[in-house]
Structure 1
Amino acid sequence: MKGFLGFLSFVLVVGGLQGLVQHFFDTWIPVMGFMRHVYVDGYEIYIGVALLVLGTAVGVAAGRKDGTREG
């Protein structure tokens, strides 16, 4: 499960960065072409930031040991 969550986190973060790069630089990086279908015209920034936040949250959840807090 930890490996799957790590992979999902990677996909979400790269997809978010890819959308932001496309919006600000008007260049689509063909790393993951299927992410192009996630973005809606006019909402690229919001969707990109949301994917980055969600990917970071999934990555933090994947990094936790057995789903419990350490500290």
Structure 2
Amino acid sequence: MSVDSFIKGMQRANANRKQRQTKQQANTVTGKPVVVAPSPAVVASPGFDLEAFRLDIIRKAIAKIMFNKQKEMNK
């Protein structure tokens, strides 16, 4: 990857981030709920279930927390 393409990618990412933040701040100031739509790539993929993915992450986080608590209790 060349340096020029890396710099252009970073500039594009920063511009997108700034645009999202401005939109989110505008929605927050007006009192409307902020709704962030999932990425079009995630929505377009046929075999991806976003809700199942979220539940899986939550399940893993709870298991990790419980494991750490058990380890702490056994010290």
Give the TM-score, by structure 2 length: 0.36
Higher helix share: 2
Bigger radius of gyration: 2
Which has the bigger relative contact order, CA under 8 A and spacing at least 6?
A: 1
Give the TM-score, by structure 1 length: 0.38
